[in-house]
Structure 1
């Protein structure tokens, strides 16, 4: 089963991010946009896991959730990977709550390694992928639109409370991925 651990976003926030995507679509860049229903903040991609390993991941999620409290986080900027040149990934960044998100991701990384799951080669970067650039078509227009949207207007900043971490199953289909919740682990209440 193909799996990952993520922070699921509230529906209202997914709708706002969908509106942001719509604004960027005007550039006619060659971008594969993440379906609004699938937008999330990935904490760790696990890959293909057998049922026995999934049970261990479920247990470690419960363990981690008990050691972290729910917290408020704010999405505040649009960016790309790489940061210069033709982008490959378009993302929305986290400002408030970034350190809490990073601590949870680091705990997941450390505990997952103890049960035989490979460590990430890259450092964790708290972001929400909203699109993947497929080619340089209309890249100048896309980059101009991204520069215009670099920071959200103050009243458009998006805030939500992180209350749980979720293990998802990802099924790849020709129409795009289908995500299903396998396990939710609720963080300790504030």
Structure 2
């Protein structure tokens, strides 16, 4: 079988996500560049790849993708737009030797969780099993701490006066392209109906 992402591949490695808008990609990049001076990680996410995962789907047979997109269209139609904003930073794994560095999201997290659940509910009939662990929305900034000693505390993100909020009016189906920058390619965007405040 061909590897996912190759031409004439039998499968694609897919996941659904809310993308971070371009102006916030730049804002997080500035913060990330400051972190790089004090913390060492093996892999830093390309800012164009910043996102909040909704559901990881794994390697999906290309013949199944039209069914997936139909299910995601139905899921999008049942949700409404909402507001999010950038939150603080944190890590997964041991604090002294973290596995992942992330930025959180604040705002209407209940609507984000509802969107995530709706996506999972609509793809379940296709054989995609939702994760059992609680949904923990975040933006992955870096992976695999490589410092010679325990990691320093994460510096507070500086508020330069920029607005870090945005309206979530769609989500995307991403395919992973290993070895490329950016690493994630949008296969389809799913608009979410506008919700009145």
For the superposition of Structure 1 and Structure 2, which TM-score range results when normalised by the shorter chain? 0.7 to 0.9
Greater fraction of residues in helix:
1
Residue 178 of structure 1 is matched in structure 2 by 183
Q: 1:126 to 1:60 in 2, by over 3 A?
A: same
Task: Return the alpha-carbon distance in structure 1 between the equivalents of residues 41 and 100 of structure 2.
Answer: 12
Q: TM-score, normalised by structure 2?
A: 0.85
**Within-5 A mapping of 1:95-106:** 95-106=106-117
**Within-5 A mapping of 1:41-190:** 41-82=52-93, 84-140=95-151, 143-144=152-153, 146=154, 148-149=155-156, 152-153=158-159, 155-156=161-162, 158-173=164-179, 178-190=183-195
Would the aligned equivalents of 2:173 and 2:186 in 1 still touch at CA under 8 Å? Answer: yes
SS state at 1:183 partner: strand
Deviations 1:19-42, CA, capped at 9 Å, x for gaps:
111010011413411011111111
Task: Return the alpha-carbon distance in structure 1 between the equivalents of residues 79 and 25 of structure 2.
Answer: 24
Task: Return the alpha-carbon distance in structure 2 between the equivalents of residues 89 and 187 of structure 1.
Answer: 30
SS state at 1:4 partner: strand
Task: Return the alpha-carbon distance in structure 2 between the equivalents of residues 155 and 166 of structure 1.
Answer: 29
SS state at 2:161 partner: helix
Structure 1, unaligned stretches of length 5 or more?
A: none
Deviations 1:91-119, CA, capped at 9 Å, x for gaps:
11111021111111111222222210132
Report the CA distance between 1:178 and its aligned residue. Answer: 2.4
Task: Return the alpha-carbon distance in structure 1 between the equivalents of residues 150 and 41 of structure 2.
Answer: 8
| Alignment root-mean-square deviation, CA | 2.0
Residue in structure 2 matching 1:15, options 22, 26, 33: 26
Structure 2, unaligned stretches of length 5 or more?
A: 1-11
